[in-house]
Amino acid sequence: MKSSISDYVLVVVSAIVSLDFIKTPLTNDARIYIGVEHLAAQYYPFPQNIDICWEIKPIGNRLINYIIYKLASVFAPFEDHAMFGVAVKFIALIAVLLIAAYFAHTLQNRPAFWITLLAFLTCANFCILQAEWWACLLAILAVALIASGKTWQQIAAGFLLVFILLIKGISGLLFIPIVCMVYLLAKPQQKAIVNVLAGCLSGFALFCITAVTIWKNMIPDIFLAPQLAKVGIYTPIESVMYFVMQLVVSPIYIPVLLPGFFAAVLYWVLVKHTPAEKVAFALMWLVPAVMVLISSEFFLYHYFWLVLPAIATLILSLERIP
């Protein structure tokens, strides 16, 4: 396929955004996540150390940050905080590039690469490397694995869905928008259900084994986190009010949401859908919104869940809107 002027523009813009992504220092949250894993690596044996050194996010988020810590340590010492932060961001950038490329390759849709890449790189720095950011990135990978049509990749997707649950607990609800995205973007064969289910069962079995042998605090920590975060402190009316207030300003900090919202309206109005497609499209948007409401803290990075339907909607709109 021949490159167009827009492709060259996207390359330049992506290069600028990527450079800014790497140069922007880590947020305090990201430093805490990585710092906890530094303590884990320094004072306790692997893999129990990930469970022993506590922070409020579940074991999945800690495992991700432990891997990032180990990889970044190859490029810069932890004590050199500036360069170590650059190394962490560089590794995260590579992860986004690889997953976006695989996602676009699986869908055979070149715009999907640019949409996904820019969606994850252009958000405000306080969203980057949060549990929501990693969970959504791995959700994109899960969609690609299921859409691939290959048995082993679909089994791996099921395994990955269980891991996504362990990133933030509520992130397990991403199973619904992931399935909806796969249905709308790829229309997989029915055997995909069996393969993904097999992967889920395998992943759940491993979860149960590790919960009673290696990471014995894993399940208690999942139930402890909502209590510490004071989930549910607002009344339903207050929750809706805060949700709407933050939703209005969220595109300022998560830019892909603005075109995503507009594309969703146009796609719903202009494109003919089957009843199943209407249900899938509605659930794809509603479930991430409900996840924000359930979290009931209304930090702006919680709205990053909406990046998944925004990406899918923009891809669908480019394909199907006349």
Task: Record the pTM.
Answer: 0.94
Residues 6+ apart with CB under 8 A from 141: 99, 102, 103, 160
Residue 195 CB partners (closer than 8 Å, separation 6+): 151, 154, 155, 157, 158
Per-residue model confidence (pLDDT) at position 231:
72
Residue 165, pLDDT score: 94
- Residue 222: the pLDDT is 81
At 96, the amino acid letter reads V
Tell me if 134 sits within 8 A of 166, measured CB to CB.
no
| Tokens standing for residue 56 | 């409020």
CB proximity list for 40: less than 8 A, separation 6 or greater: 46, 49, 50, 52, 53, 62, 66
One-letter amino acid at 10 equals: L
Distance CA 288, CA 310 (A): 11
3-state secondary structure of 232: coil
User: Which of 135, 177, 179, 175 has the alpha carbon at shortest distance from 289?
Assistant: 177
What are the pLDDT tens digits along the chain (322 aa)?
455 777 789 999 999 999 999 999 999 999 999 999 999 999 999 999 999 998 888 999 999 999 999 999 999 999 999 999 999 999 999 999 999 999 999 999 989 999 999 999 999 999 999 999 999 999 999 999 999 989 999 999 999 999 999 999 899 999 999 999 999 999 877 789 999 999 999 999 999 999 999 999 888 888 887 777 777 778 889 889 999 999 999 999 999 999 999 999 999 999 988 999 999 999 999 999 999 999 888 899 999 999 999 999 999 999 888 7
Instruction: Report pLDDT for 56.
Output: 85
Return the CA Rg of the chain: 20
Angle at 310 between CA 187 and CA 155, to 5 degrees: 40
Task: Give domain limits for the chain.
Answer: 5-320
- Interatomic CA distance for residues 68 and 88, integer angstroms: 6
Look over the chain and give the mean of its residue pLDDT values, rounded to a whole number.
93
Identify the pLDDT of residue 1: 47
Six token digits for residue 284: 């794809």
Number of H helices, E strands in the chain: 15, 0
Distance separating alpha carbons of residues 166 and 28, to the nearest angstrom: 22
pLDDT, tens digit, 9 for 90 and up, residues 140-178: 999 999 999 899 999 999 999 999 999 998 999 999 999
